[in-house]
Chain A
Amino acid sequence: RKEVEQDPGPFNVPEGATVAFNCTYSNSASQSFFWYRQDCRKEPKLLMSVYSSGNEDGRFTAQLNRASQYISLLIRDSKLSDSATYLCVVAPGSWGKLQFGAGTQVVVTP
């Protein structure tokens, strides 16, 4: 079983719509959680950290559910530029060993 699992998608989203997707993790001792964004054939870049109380960054909202061991990302008012693969990243607490999910592809269409 993978330590971090994501629905690969693609999620096809009309421009202006809302899209949400989850990521599950297997290590209940995981302490830090992130969403990274990766554009086609580019390097991953940090989108946002995920805090226990949930957090927003503009049109992006991240939530953490420790009891069910998943994190979510919601994108409101989707823009064409939001088309990318979103990587769920979990830090189990041991040094230098972030666990990356395989990514969820989002395609925003006009």
Chain B
Amino acid sequence: IAGITQAPTSQILAAGRRMTLRCTQDMRHNAMYWYRQDLGLGLRLIHYSNTAGTTGKGEVPDGYSVSRANTDDFPLTLASAVPSQTSVYFCASSEAGGADTQYFGPGTRLTVL
């Protein structure tokens, strides 16, 4: 069982380019999340999904979009990347929402130049 996988592991991207970060889980969890982690700021929620077909905005959603076409996949798209989106991005999932334990993927290190 892989748990949660993310791709790519790292990426350097020119500003203005479109980028999709992939996230797949094999635990059949209902809820999935995208966070960004920046030094000194901790993890901040970008978007989340309670269940397949639904999504919601987190603390820092601007410049990002998500979709949840099925239970396993939760891609995060940067429509037009900007340098302030340089960060480490973690995808997570939990069996349900609320205070359920969240399981994290290994992260994607994104640099926008």
Contacts and interface: CB of A to CB of B under 8 A. Distances in A.
Interface of A: 4, 8, 31-32, 34, 42-46, 87, 91, 93, 95-98, 100-103
Interface of B: 31, 33, 35, 40-45, 48, 50, 56, 58-59, 90, 97-99, 101-102, 104-107
Contacts of B90: 43-44
Given A43-B90, A96-B98, A98-B102, 4 more contacts: A32-B98, A45-B104, A98-B45, A100-B42
Nearest to B33: A96
Contacts of A42: 106-107
22 contacts: A8-B40, A34-B101, A42-B106, A43-B90, A43-B107, A46-B101, A46-B102, A87-B42, A91-B99, A93-B98, A95-B98, A96-B31, A96-B56, A96-B97, A97-B45, A97-B59, A98-B102, A100-B42, A100-B43, A100-B44, A101-B42, A102-B40
Per DSSP, are chain A's interface residues mostly helix, strand or loop, or mixed?
loop
B98 A91 contact: yes
B97 A95 contact: yes
Contacts of A34: 99, 101
Contacts of A91: 98-99
Contacts of B31: 96
Contact of B99 (A32, A87, A101): A32
A103 B6 CA distance: 23
Given A43-B104, A45-B104, A96-B50, A4 B42 contact: yes
B104 A97 contact: no
